[in-house]
Amino acid sequence: AQSVTQLGSHVSVSEGALVLLRCNYSSSVPPYLFWYVQYPNQGLQLLLKYTSAATLVKGINGFEAEFKKSETSFHLTKPSAHMSDAAEYFCAASNDYKLSFGAGTTVTVRA
């Protein structure tokens, strides 16, 4: 079964600083990979997805992620954090139409 590991349950960054959220997946066959964001008391919103096309994927709100097969990683980055980026971020992997989520990383942004 697919498993997804997110390193760091909580990340705190200063406004304007780089945001880096780490995600690794376990699969010999690269799955589809996704990052979802969840704002307080809201549902899951897709930030971006990797579906075996370009390895660098650009998403909404200035986020991007790079698929590295050799490292089985799909880390999420944003060059400059904004206060509105404070949320929970989930990495997810899909094989055979089943999505497995990582444990999530809470991002707080300091003014």
Partner 1 sequence: EPEVTQTPSHQVTQMGQEVILRCVPISNHLYFYWYRQILGQKVEFLVSFYNNEISEKSEIFDDQFSVERPDGSNFTLKIRSTKLEDSAMYFCASTTVTGELFFGEGSRLTVL
- Interaction site with partner 1 (CB under 8 A): 31-32, 34, 36, 42-46, 49, 51, 90, 92, 94, 97-104
Report which residue type is found at 103: A
Whole-number Å distance between alpha carbons of 40 and 93: 23
Q: Between 85 and 89, whose beta carbon lies closer to partner 1?
A: 89
Q: What's the residue count for the chain?
A: 111
Nearer to partner 1, 25 or 31 (CB): 31
Residues 6+ apart with CB under 8 A from 98: 2
Q: What is the DSSP string of 47-89?
A: EEEE-SS-SEEE-GGG-EEEEEGGGTEEEEEESS--GGG-EEE
Smaller CB separation from partner 1, 7 or 101: 101
| Minimal distance, residue 33 CB to partner 1, in Å | 10
Least distance (Å) from partner 1 to the CB of residue 13?
A: 21
Q: How far is the CB of 101 from partner 1 (least distance, A)?
A: 4
Q: Quick one: 32 or 72, whose CB is closer to partner 1?
A: 32
Given a contact cutoff of 8 angstroms between Cβ atoms, the answer to whether 25 and 74 are in contact is: yes
CB of residue 31 to partner 1, shortest distance in Å: 8
